[in-house]
Amino acid sequence: MKTFLLYLFLTSSWLVAQNSNSNEVAKIERRLLLAQSYFELPQDSLVAHAKFVINHAERPTDVALAHYYLGNTYKINNNLNAALNAYQQANSLFKKALQDDENNTELLNNYANTFASMGIVYSQQSNYSQAILYHFEARKRFLQTNNTEKLAAIHNNIGIEYQSLDKFDEAISYFNKALAYNKNNKISNVLLFTNCAKNYLRKNQFSTAKKYLDKALTHSNDEKNSYNLGELYNNLAFYFYHNSEFEMQKKYLEMATTAFQGDAFGLSDTYYYYGLYHLKNKAEATAISYFEKAIENCKKLEIKELHATVLQQLIQIYEKKGAINTAFQLQKEYTDLQHELALHNSEKALSFVELQAKFDKNKEAFQELETAKKRQFYIYLCIIFGLFLGVVFLIYNNKQKMLQKNLIFEKQQAEFQHKALHLQMNPHFVFNCLGSISSFILQNENETALTYLSHFAKLMRITL
């Protein structure tokens, strides 16, 4: 009876423990789902859910995912250093997990995602060379898993980094690769075609840019991301401004304002283009108000290039109005900003030089290896050809020697035969022949004498 009660107690305890573990796993999974509800929950709640999983989850992959979601939350809220730290933690954990299961597709994709996200953070910090290196690390893993959707996205990101470095040819190359991978339209075609168009707009190749803008427009009805639509409309407005089609510019600016729905980053460009539109229509007061809105957003988001461009427009307006003090203050602000931009651009240039130097070094090493392989191949080819020629020469030489020996032998043989016959014709034999013939003559046997004489003459011709 005691044994039965002990068994019953142990069984019930095991069932309670199993149920408790199941509840804990379900709780962790629910928290992970909540930690990635970026547009539904406030930042504090997202952080709390992610940190709960980090502190309570037993599986390393759950902890890694929580760090990754935490990084996304920080990135969305512009806390870039914290985001980078969270992504690095996730990256380290996924790398460790892959050591035990290196062919796990899900783990490889998650590992690649951490590289891609770190690349985006470095890009937002204007460290474009580092961003490109991390994007290439992500690309390598996505190629392993043949994740075409992610490959389209990562090639688009690489294109954006090169565009930021003013390397437009490299940028368009990667944008085209992104389009090639996006055959199933998993990534927004509006985004990809708009990025291609923006590249050509910055190169002042407006006809080519318009072709890509038209392609983006054909997909705009299916686009669900309003930010992507806003970017398309802004670039269309920029195109029509340069074509002096101001009513079309206004139309797309209104559409961009609606699409961005209060997004300060996207609206910065929209406000600037609105200012240009009103300036062309000689509505200076309205133009100034839009330029000031653009500057407000630029200061908030530290968009220095656009900030400097807008200041130039305001300085020109106030100088024409005769507001010298205001123009002077703006000029001072513009000068300070240009100084920052010069430092920033130097850093950009240096980053690219470092990247280019690393690429060139790897390229040179590869070329040296290829040259060494070719040189080795040609050396082996020469050795083989030399051996072949040597064998042919030996065969030919041996054949010539054999022919020469045969000729010498045949000549010697003929000489020996001739000598043997010559030796046979000794004086005693000749004397006997002549004596016999003279005997026939004395006996008047002329016919017999002539016959023998003829035979003897023939013998002499053969022998001598």
pLDDT of 268 > 80? The answer is yes
Residue 219 within a domain: no
Q: 31 — phi, psi (to 5°)?
A: -65, -40
30 vs 249: CA distance, rounded Å: 47
Residue 391 within a domain: yes
Q: Domain of residue 397: give its range.
A: 387-416
Residue 459 one-letter amino acid = L
- 93 within 8 A of 60, measured Cβ to Cβ: yes
117 vs 70: CA distance, rounded Å: 12
366 vs 306, higher pLDDT: 306
Residue 130 within a domain: no
pLDDT of 203 > 80? The answer is yes
pLDDT digit string (tens) for 108-145? Answer: 999 999 999 999 888 877 677 888 889 999 999 999 99
Looking at residue 125, its pLDDT comes to 73
**Tokens standing for 464?**
């001598």
- Report the b/e string of 372-406 with b at 16+ CB within 10 A: eeeeeeeeeeeeeeeeeeeeeeeeeeeeeeeeeee
Burial of 356 (0-12, 13-18, 19+ CB in 10 A): middle
- 310 within 8 A of 294, measured Cβ to Cβ: yes
Looking at residue 275, its pLDDT comes to 93
For residue 249, what pLDDT band results from cuts at 50, 70 and 90? very high
The least confident of 108-122, 182-196, 207-221, 235-249 is 182-196
Residue 328 within a domain: no
Question: What mean pLDDT do residues 42-47 have?
Answer: 87
Question: What mean pLDDT do residues 386-415 have?
Answer: 83
- 157 within 8 A of 116, measured Cβ to Cβ: yes
Query: Measured between alpha carbons, how far is residue 329 from residues 8, 307, 323 in Å?
Result: 86, 15, 10
Which of the 8 DSSP states describes residue 165? T
pLDDT of 235 > 70? The answer is yes
pLDDT digit string (tens) for 310-324? Answer: 999 999 999 888 888
pLDDT digit string (tens) for 88-110? Answer: 999 999 999 999 888 899 999 99
Residue 131 within a domain: no
Q: How many CB atoms lie within 10 A of CB 299?
A: 11
Q: What is the dihedral angle through the alpha carbons of 422, 428, 433, 439, rounded to the nearest 10 degrees?
A: 170
Which of the 8 DSSP states describes residue 221? G
120 vs 80: CA distance, rounded Å: 10
Residue 116 within a domain: no
- 134 within 8 A of 154, measured Cβ to Cβ: no
437 vs 433: CA distance, rounded Å: 6
Residue 64 within a domain: no
Q: pTM of this prediction?
A: 0.63
* Mean pLDDT score of the chain: 83
For residue 361, what pLDDT band results from cuts at 50, 70 and 90? low
pLDDT digit string (tens) for 322-340? Answer: 888 888 889 988 888 877 7
pLDDT digit string (tens) for 279-311? Answer: 988 899 999 999 999 999 888 877 777 888 999
Instruction: Judge if 409 and 432 occupy the same domain.
Output: no
Indicate the number of domains in the chain.
Answer: 2
Using the structure block, give the residue that is written with the tokens 């106030």.
318
**Tokens standing for 340?**
């920052």
- 163 within 8 A of 171, measured Cβ to Cβ: yes
136 vs 301: CA distance, rounded Å: 27
For residue 367, what pLDDT band results from cuts at 50, 70 and 90? low
Residue 117 within a domain: no
* Residues of the chain above pLDDT 70, percent: 85
Instruction: Judge if 436 and 411 occupy the same domain.
Output: no
- 155 within 8 A of 181, measured Cβ to Cβ: yes
pLDDT of 396 > 50? The answer is yes
Determine the 3-state secondary structure of 147 from DSSP.
coil
Looking at residue 356, its pLDDT comes to 56
Determine the 3-state secondary structure of 128 from DSSP.
helix
For residue 342, what pLDDT band results from cuts at 50, 70 and 90? low
